[in-house]
Structure 1
Amino acid sequence: MTLRLSALIVARNEAERLPDCLAALGFADEIVVVLDRTTDASAAIATAAGARVIEGAWELEGTRRNQGIAACTGDWVLEVDADERVSPDLAIEIRRVIASSPFAWHQVPVDNYVGDRLLRHGWAGSFGTTSVPRLFRAGAKQWRAQRVHPGLDWTGKEGPRLQTGALIHLVDRDIADMLKRLDRYSTAKAKDLIASGNIGTLRGNLRRFVMRGFKSYVSRKGYREGAWGVLLAFCTGAFPLLSYLKARLEPRAHGAPEP
């Protein structure tokens, strides 16, 4: 029996990037596109490509991703963001794996680009990664109710990471775009911190700034990327510290109730 594969895209106003993302998913048996508070032409683009479109408004990233997973009808699901492209080699590897894997989920390798520059080293923490758990059996994956980088709950065992091809991730257009992403991520994380009732401490987040920056630059070999590695280390370390400072210094702006 041939197992069916669903490709899931969750996006918001990604009309510019969506066509190339969809074009690389022709190997899937089904494409589901979840559009969150989208006002551009994304719905028409996805429909024209043969995708099933679900539109709505979700405050939490985890909630909208779970909505998309629930809508998939395949035996396996591959999650792809609109700024990612499945390489031809990865597409072949995915079909091979789902045909024979006894496991519930697999990590997928990622090649990260800033503009047209491939940065192989230095990705760490919550600011970027070279491997993502995106290929999984139906029912195996559940996102937690958080705004940014929500946690995951799994059912079943993890299999080996896929070895051929990669998700081509167009992370940022340039340095300005990278810094905007840092601002956007830290704002969402500040809201999660306030909602949790525990924003942490200045001392703890200063320590995380240093440790995460060190991990990015040294442990993850960001130094191999030259000055780009310094920038990645800074952003990786700054993410939790900036999130904490926003939650502490501007609590009302990030969801804290009025006294």
Structure 2
Amino acid sequence: MNGRAPISGVVTTFNNAATLDACLASLAFCDERVVLDSGSTDATLDIARRHGARIAEHPFDDYGPQKQRAIDMASHDWILLLDADEHLTDAGRDAIERALRAPRADGYRLPRQEWLFWKWAHPHTRANWQLRLFRKSRGRMNDVPVHAAPVVDGVRRDLRAPFRHYGEPRLADRIDKVNRYSSGLVVHKHRRGVHGLGGRILFQPTIAFFKLYVGKRYFLDGWAGFIAARTQAFYTFLKYAKVLEAQRSDDQSA
């Protein structure tokens, strides 16, 4: 451990044989690797066993609860939470090793580099910073459907420990995911209520496009960046359009 705090690498899986090997290999420096599977039928569990991970199985009942179960399985207080299609870079590992020798925070946001259909994003494309390294004693998953994320009660800092997300390699796969995720948010948003829904449907997709294409510099990624920004705009449109659909359905049944 070289004097650093012990750490548990935590991953949830379902039929991730294509990407899990790279994910778990990047977590080899962790003091344990925990895999919670939700019924894989491919080689996912064989890969996890080959890496010496501690494995458990539980039926999937949403992203947040499943990840929280995996976190609760961990033996150590420091958690490094990755998805099965993500992997830590060598530079990321070194930065985490240094940070945990004398932690200055209870949670750290790390920069995620994206795979855009057929290429890794340009080095000057802005990364997506996400809280993935945190103390279990100070953090838990929130209850947001689909986009559940850790929240930390304590000091949070940014740590330049890059990790990579091997996203959908085909546009068709991305559209399928956009459709699933936007449907998964409907009940949550409908229950809470969405103010200015018409304006959001009209304007938020365009704002989402420019946030990625210009704000995060996806214009540096050629057609891959343009398509990624456009699909994000479509996702933004769908999640609000489906809430409107749910509202109109309620009105008809009232």
TM-score norm. by structure 1 comes to 0.84
Distance in structure 1 (CA, Å) of the matches to 2:40 and 2:144:
20
Shift of 1:82: 1.0
Label 1:89 to 1:122 Cα distance change in 2 as closer, same or farther (>3 A). closer
Match of residue 109 from structure 2: 107
Distance in structure 1 (CA, Å) of the matches to 2:93 and 2:244:
45
Distance in structure 2 (CA, Å) of the matches to 1:151 and 1:205:
25
Match of residue 147 from structure 1: 145
Match of residue 136 from structure 2: 138
Q: Structure 1, residues 26-62: CA drift from partner, whole Å, max 9, x if none? A: 1000000111243333223212321111211232211
| Contact map agreement 1:111 1:169 (CA 8 A) in 2 | yes
Match of residue 25 from structure 2: 23
Distance in structure 2 (CA, Å) of the matches to 1:32 and 1:118:
27
Distance in structure 1 (CA, Å) of the matches to 2:103 and 2:219:
37
- 1:223 equivalent in alignment to 2:219: yes
* Paired letter, 2:220: R
Matching residue within 227, 232, 238 for 2:228: 232
Shift of 1:153: 2.9
Match of residue 243 from structure 1: 239
Match of residue 188 from structure 1: 184
Shift of 1:133: 0.9
Distance in structure 1 (CA, Å) of the matches to 2:15 and 2:147:
19
39-48 vs 27-36, greater mean Cα deviation: 39-48
* Paired letter, 2:94: I
Normalized per residue, the structure richer in helix is 2
After superposition, where does 1:115-134 map in structure 2 within 5 Å? 115-120=117-122, 130-134=128-132
- RMSD over aligned Cα atoms: 2.5
Unmatched tracts of structure 2, length 5 or more: none
Distance in structure 1 (CA, Å) of the matches to 2:225 and 2:142:
31
* Paired letter, 1:204: R
Q: Structure 1, residues 187-234: CA drift from partner, whole Å, max 9, x if none? A: 22224334x252552332322112212222222222222333322222
| Contact map agreement 2:36 2:55 (CA 8 A) in 1 | yes
- 1:163 equivalent in alignment to 2:160: yes
Shift of 1:181: 2.2
Distance in structure 2 (CA, Å) of the matches to 1:223 and 1:45:
37
Q: Structure 1, residues 59-116: CA drift from partner, whole Å, max 9, x if none? A: 2211111111111111311011111121122112111111112210111122211244
Label 1:186 to 1:122 Cα distance change in 2 as closer, same or farther (>3 A). farther
| Contact map agreement 2:10 2:71 (CA 8 A) in 1 | yes
Matching residue within 56, 81, 84 for 1:82: 84
134-143 vs 40-49, greater mean Cα deviation: 40-49
Percent of matched pairs sharing the same residue: 25
* Paired letter, 2:47: I
Match of residue 126 from structure 1: none
Label 1:67 to 1:182 Cα distance change in 2 as closer, same or farther (>3 A). same
| Contact map agreement 1:76 1:135 (CA 8 A) in 2 | yes
Match of residue 211 from structure 1: 207
55-64 vs 214-223, greater mean Cα deviation: 214-223
Unmatched tracts of structure 1, length 5 or more: 124-128
Distance in structure 2 (CA, Å) of the matches to 1:168 and 1:208:
27
- 1:178 equivalent in alignment to 2:174: yes
Label 1:33 to 1:172 Cα distance change in 2 as closer, same or farther (>3 A). same
